[in-house]
Each structure stands twice: as C-alpha cells, then as structure tokens.
Amino acid sequence: MTAIRVGVAGAAGRMGLSVCGAVDGADDMTLAGQADPALGTTLESILGDVDVVVDFTRPDIAQGNSELCLAAGVHVVIGTSGFDQDAVAAAAAASPSGARAFFAPNFAIGAVLMMRFAAEASKHMKKAEIIELHHDQKLDAPSGTAARTATLMEGDVPIHSVRLPGLVAHQEVILGGLGETLTVRHDSLSRESFMPGVLLAVRRVADQPVPFLVGLEHLLFPA
C-alpha cells in the first residue's frame, strides 16, 4: 500500500504539532510537508509533494488555504472553525481534479458521540442549552462544536461560551423536562484526543461521496 503523503498547515501551532506527531507515527502515512510562517514555509511550497493537507490555522486563513488546495487538486481536511463553509463547498464542487474537502467541528470521537446523544435526547426533552468551555486563545465563539450540536438538536438551543486559561475543549448540553434534567458532557483533556479522528478523516477524504462533507459522524456512522 502506498503511504498517504500528508501536509500540515499551521504545523508550528499546538494542534499542528500534535497532527505532525500523529501522522509521523501512522504506518500508512508520511509527513511530507509542514507549512507555517514560524517555519518559513508556505502552503504553496508543499502542495506539489502532498496528497492531503490538514489545516489547523486561523478562521481568516483556513478558507484561502482550502481553496488553494482544491484548485491544486489536493484534498483538504479542515480542523479550523469559523470560516466560510459555503465558499469552501463551492471551491470543492469546482475543483478541476475532483479534490475533496472535509471539515469537522470536533475531531474527538467522544465529542461526536456527545453530539449524537444530545440530538437524540432533544427529541424527548422540552428545552436545552449548551455551555462550551475552551482555552483563552480560541478565536471563535461559539465554538464550531457547539454550533454544530445546536444545529443537530430539536428546537432553539442557546449557547453560552467560556474562554479561560487552563481549559482545552469542553462542552455540556443540559436538557430540561418535566421535573427532571439530563446533562451530556464531553471533555478533551489533551490534544491527543483529536488525533484518531484527524487520521480517520485523512484516510477517508479521497473517497467521500460529496465534494464537501461536514461532520465526523458521517465517517463513524455511515448511512
């Protein structure tokens, strides 16, 4: 089997470093490129050497990076939230070589299960609210995970965002019914929790049935 050649955009960041380590440790992948201003490398400089780019940059950079990858015929797995999804979907649909784009608001498998359980519970409970807690360097609020969870649930679900040092990524969904409450919570205690999901997306992006796919649940629970 030919190893998947993976490039990482945002390679010098906290998530980027974790992705580089995970790719380097995967038997079926090769870390073929690292793009980051801190490393003095650009995305353009690595595109000719990679099959898939994993983007963990910033919301204002991720869209352009994704469009650049798709135009060059390189698949892209996006871990940055807060970008214009419609623009990336259009770029994927227009890719001359059929390159695919995949975005997950959260790559932790436990977080995907949390969203699935919350969506199912919302069919039976009267109201719900979401509290999402992240480190104080996270730029977008609400988080992509919280926004995705609310979209999957029944009814209007308010979201409360907390940004504090010492946190990684945490979310609880509190549902209320007649004389009872139900809380579904997920905690990522380290960035390692996201790596199995990232590697799964890298392995599957080339074969996904649509140009732009959102949500790790489609890979964990295929229809």
Binding site, residues?
A: 10-15, 79-81, 104-107, 135, 144-145
Token pair of 44 as six digits: 């353009």
By three-state DSSP, how is residue 84 classified?
A: coil
What is the Cα–Cα distance from 126 to 143, expressed in whole angstroms? 24
Query: Who contacts 30 (Cβ-Cβ below 8 Å, separation ≥6)?
Result: 3, 4, 5, 6, 23
Q: Choose among 216, 193, 192: nearest CA to 204.
A: 216
Residues facing 128 on adjacent strands: 175
Q: Choose among 65, 54, 43, 44: nearest CA to 8.
A: 54
Q: Does an H or E element contain 31, and which?
A: strand 29-35
Q: Are 43 and 51 in contact (CB under 8 A)?
A: no
Binding-site residue ranges for NAD(+) = 10-15, 79-81, 104-107
Q: Are 140 and 59 in contact (CB under 8 A)?
A: yes
Residue type, 212: F
The set of catalytic residues is 134, 138
Residue with tokens 């352009």: 64
Query: Who contacts 221 (Cβ-Cβ below 8 Å, separation ≥6)?
Result: 116
